[in-house]
Amino acid sequence: MNVYDAIVSRRTIRKFRQTPIPEDVLKKMINAARLAPQASNLQPIKYIVVDDKDLLEPVFATTKWAAYIAPEGTPKPGERPVAYVVILVDLEIRNSGYDTDAGAAVENLILAGVGEGIGSCWIGSVDRDRLRELLGIPERYIIHSIVALGYPAESPVAVEAKGCIKYYKDETGTLHVPKRPLEEVMFRNRALPPQG
């Protein structure tokens, strides 16, 4: 799969098959993240892979899913993630402005996953205090976000947004994700519309 096809076909996945992800695939995804562009090349991001069976449910309990369609988008038992990557920022390397670094790293991780058939949900809605305690994460690290992983058990589709950008499920249970059309977001030279 070429890069563009991976980007276009990627959709957030919130239902997973219960097949474990091989170690080499997880390593490939973290490797892709580690090689992302980083401001001043500081590379403050660290990654904890969580795939211990005893930790999966407690980590799941720290997460919130698909707010626009809650509780319908929350994975049920038997369709929950089989691994998580906890995205940390090492404050001793960088203590402000790290959000873009994390963003670039996570997108690389997710797209490398697409190339390996792995589905993911990037999750910002995390009970960080609980997760910190659960995994024994020292104060030196900020918990930026987590990425839930597994082989997809659903096939969401991107659709053109007609005003509303809230994702929704149709009568068959397929998730539709409205994306703003190209002509609404792409401009040339001095052609930006006036405000309002």
Ligand X SMILES: Cc1cc2nc3c(=O)[nH]c(=O)nc-3n(C[C@H](O)[C@H](O)[C@H](O)COP(=O)(O)O)c2cc1C
Q: Which of 65, 84, 98, 141 binds ligand X (CB under 6 A)?
A: 65
* Least distance between ligand X and beta carbon 180 (Å): 11
Question: For ligand X, which is the closer residue by CB, 77 or 194?
Answer: 77
Q: Which of 95, 100, 125, 155 binds ligand X (CB under 6 A)?
A: 125
Where residue 193 falls (left for φ over 0; alpha for ψ -120 to 50; beta otherwise) is: beta
Question: For ligand X, which is the closer residue by CB, 23 or 99?
Answer: 99
Stretch that binds ligand X, among 42-50, 54-62, 76-84, 123-131 (CB under 6 A): 123-131
How far apart CA 175 and CA 11 sit, in angstroms, is 10
Question: For ligand X, which is the closer residue by CB, 30 or 121?
Answer: 121
Q: Rounded to whole angstroms, what are the CA distances from 106 to 18, 180, 191?
A: 23, 22, 32
Residues 31-60 contacting ligand X, CB under 6 A: none
Q: Rounded to whole angstroms, what are the CA distances from 32 to 47, 115, 184?
A: 12, 11, 31
Number of residues that bind ligand X (CB under 6 A): 14
According to DSSP, the β-strands at 45-50 and 157-160 are: unpaired
How far apart CA 62 and CA 51 sit, in angstroms, is 15
Mark residues 135-174: x for contact with ligand X by CB under 6 A, - for none. Answer: ----------x----------x----------x-------
